[in-house]
Amino acid sequence: MMRIPFIAGNWKMNTTAAEAEKLVHDMLDRLDRIEEVEKVLCPPFISLVTIRELLKGSSIKLGAQNMWFETKGAYTGEISPLMLRESCEFVILGHSERRRYFGETDEIINKKIKAALENKLKPILCVGERLEENEAGRTEEVIGRQLNQDLNQVKPTHNIVIAYEPIWAIGTGKAASGEQAAATIKFIRDILAELWNKGIAQDLRILYGGSVTSHNIAEFISQPEIDGALVGGSSLEAEEFLSIVNQTAEIKGD
């Protein structure tokens, strides 16, 4: 199975509803025409329904940035997979900002992954090591543990995308090198082969995330192991995001 390149924009807690609509308007037609890449926008919850309508009939898909693992009930302030399913195909889970600021453990992330898949949502599972872990040479140990726990008792599936996001590279302007990222992504693929099987590990898209811009995307995407990117800050500017997707289409299309 050929791995279709994949670029997702994580808008995080940015854009009012009006700003979100404008951002979509500014790139909709041009983004829609880029056929060789699977494109996903992950705006704040409050804009999902409006953006779903704007994207109707286009090739651009919608993702949420988080969800709770129960389908309904007394969980004030939370959003369930059932609610997301009406608008979204994807959901980002295990993002380091959720792990760090909101105390999400691998056990919680594991429950969320299972709930997403049971409710026909495709998780974009983020894993990554902290700076001190990287410097101590513990990257593989940390990522191996995260994958084993986050995917514990999850049946092999094609409906998941993995994002390798070294925490020290997120929002810092200090990206990993293409070679570094490719080596860790190869390691992730090996873990998936052990955990599930070689076939699925070869088929699944594994992205790099962390300070990706139009200036460095080529370095990542030209690595055969890297199937795309999860883009934070640079997904908030239409021209920047379009350039990232266009370069991905050109390089992976060669």
Positions touching ligand PEP (CB under 6 A) are: 10, 12, 165, 170-171, 209-212, 230-234
Paired tokens of 34: 């880029």
Residue 131 makes CB contacts below 8 A (sequence gap 6+) with 167, 168
* Distance in Å, CB of 234 to ligand PEP, minimum: 6
* Distance in Å, CB of 1 to ligand PEP, minimum: 26
Of 140 and 237, nearer to ligand PEP (C-beta) is 237
8 A C-beta contact, residue 3 and residue 205: yes
95 as an active site residue: the answer is yes
How many helices (H) and strands (E) are present in the chain, helices listed first? Answer: 11, 8
19 as an active site residue: the answer is no
Nearest to 8 by CA among 37, 51, 49: 37
* Distance in Å, CB of 124 to ligand PEP, minimum: 9
**CA–CA separation, 201 vs 155, rounded Å?**
13
* Distance in Å, CB of 10 to ligand PEP, minimum: 4
Of 170 and 191, nearer to ligand PEP (C-beta) is 170
The active-site residue out of 104, 129, 165, 225 is: 165
Of 13 and 74, nearer to ligand PEP (C-beta) is 13
User: How many CB atoms sit inside 10 A of residue 9's CB?
Assistant: 27
**CA–CA separation, 209 vs 169, rounded Å?**
8
Of 171 and 224, nearer to ligand PEP (C-beta) is 171
The active-site residue out of 95, 219, 225, 240 is: 95
Paired tokens of 7: 């670029």
Show which residues are catalytic. Answer: 95, 165
